[in-house]
Amino acid sequence: MVERVEEMSKKRGGRRREAETSSTLSQKIAGVLLSIAGVAILMGIITGEALYPAPYNTAENTISDLGGTMPSEGGIVLQPSATIFDATMLVTGPMIIIGAYLVHRASRRRAAAVPLALLGIGVLGVGIFPGYVPVMHPILALTAFVSGGVAAIMAYKVAAAPFRYISIVLGVITLVSVVLGFVFLDKWQFVEALGEGGTERWIAYPVVLWLTMFGGYLMGHSRREPSDA
């Protein structure tokens, strides 16, 4: 009887170690994907801006202008920037979605994984429907912005201090910038001076930086039970 109990205990211990190993692997792969996605988005934007074959001002031009301007602005598509930007979004969007799945697999925290997946969907959608596509592009861009801010805030459920506080701050910056950009763009002198392009970068860049940092955190931090906070 004692031997059977010991054998069962060993089996349970073995299964537990296998589960922990699988979760750790999922976490690290998620970290790799999210870090690469964050770096790729940043470098894709920088490269698209550098190679834009027309005057480009970060205060006046939005990030999405790299893929194509809005129909109200002529729906202009300029190469090679459009291909660089669209391809970057098409590649990184699925990477973020897969990363979100792996984060959920490792942590079992939907609150952290769902907004991250929505961010990936928004990024992918921006690549499929560039700026010159009415309705769909603005909806998907807003989805990426808002869900990115929420994802950064909700990452506190799977992250430890001090990164969890940095993550929250970056998420808050994005969401506050969304409100300022959509509500106060023409009403507050500071926001008006930043312009549509500058304000959009205050929305997007904190999320891009967070993706890179969160990925690094997942790669380097040993798996632990997430907080119930």
Domains of the chain: 19-220 (1.20.1070)
CA distance 62 to 201: 8
The residue behind tokens 């089996």 is 11
pLDDT value at position 193?
A: 82
- Which pLDDT score, from 0 to 100, does residue 223 have? 53
For residues 142 and 153, what is the distance between their CA atoms, to the nearest angstrom? 17
Token pair for 9: 């205990």
Give the C-alpha separation, 42 to 74, whole Å: 26
Closest of 73, 56, 45 to residue 205, by C-alpha: 45
pLDDT digits (tens, 9 = 90+) for 112-155: 999 999 999 999 999 999 999 999 999 999 999 999 999 999 99
**Tokens 């990363």 identify what position?**
99
Residue 210 confidence (pLDDT): 98
Closest CA to 41 of 84, 78, 82: 84
Query: pLDDT below 50 — which residues of the chain?
Result: 5, 13-14, 224-229
Q: What is the CA radius of gyration of the chain?
A: 21
Question: What is this structure's pTM?
Answer: 0.86
Q: How far is CA 80 from the centre of its chain?
A: 24
Please give the DSSP secondary-structure letter assigned to residue 223: P
Closest of 214, 147, 133, 136 to residue 178, by C-alpha: 147
